[in-house]
Every structure is written in C-alpha cells, then in structure tokens.
Amino acid sequence: MRNMELKTIQCMILGMISLIGSAHITTAEEGDVIKGLEFARKECRFCHVIGPENPYGGIGSTPSFYIFAENWDRYEERLASYYVRNPHPARLKKPLPYDHDKLMAYVKQLKRPKKSD
C-alpha cells in the first residue's frame, strides 16, 4: 500500500516536471528572437527605440527598430552592417560579441503595437 502511494507521488512529480518543462520549451526561432532582444537591449537601446520596452526611448534622430522591420527590404543590409555605418564605429566603443542571426531575427519580427494596446 505504501509502495502504491509512493508510486502515485512519483508519477505526480514527474507529471509536474514535464508540465513545467514544456512551458519553457521554445523553438529555435523564438530562442533567436529572445537573444536578439537581449543584444539590442545591451547595445542599441540607449539611442534607438528597439521595441515595446522603450517606446519613447532613443535619441532624437535615430530610426526606431520598427522602421527597420516595416522597411525590411531597405534595412536588412543596413542592419546587417550597422557596426561599420556611422555613427556606430565611433560610438560603440566595445561592441559585445555580435550574433548576426539573432539580431536579425529579433528586428524582423517586430510589430508596432496598435494604438489601442
């Protein structure tokens, strides 16, 4: 009898672990997006609006990352080479290791929040 209870408890615990586990599984693409956001947060947020987290951030004339996403054809290449484009080489003294795919994945999926949000 005791053994049965133990088994039941074990099953419940295993079930709980697998539930918690599955809630945290992200697809590779989502993983890239999150890493890209983390990178933008560290390196770009002071000067650019990088998404919903700093809608009124950035400095005067910098294009927001929404502009890049909305005009992807025009900006994909510029984003890919941001570090050699002015004013970045002079400003970003020590860029963090740069993960191209992740930054691109993050910016590409950005959608400007609707007015009602």
Residues at the site binding ligand HEC, with contacts judged by CB under 6 A: 40, 43-44, 46-48, 61-63, 75, 78-79, 82, 85-88, 91-92
34 or 47, CB closer to ligand HEC? 47
Give the nearest distance from C-beta 109 to ligand HEC in angstroms: 15
Q: Taking a C-beta distance cutoff of 8 angstroms, is the pair 37, 51 a contact?
A: yes
Q: Nearest CA to 41 among 24, 62, 18, 58?
A: 58
Looking at residue 85, the DSSP 8-state letter turns out to be S
Give the nearest distance from C-beta 14 to ligand HEC in angstroms: 43
22 or 61, CB closer to ligand HEC? 61
Give the nearest distance from C-beta 115 to ligand HEC in angstroms: 26
- Using CA atoms, how far residue 100 sits from 41, 103, 110, in Å, is 15, 5, 16
3 or 61, CB closer to ligand HEC? 61
Q: Report how far residue 57's alpha carbon sits from residue 27's, in angstroms, rounded to the nearest whole number.
A: 30
Which tokens is 70 given?
């909305």
4 or 84, CB closer to ligand HEC? 84
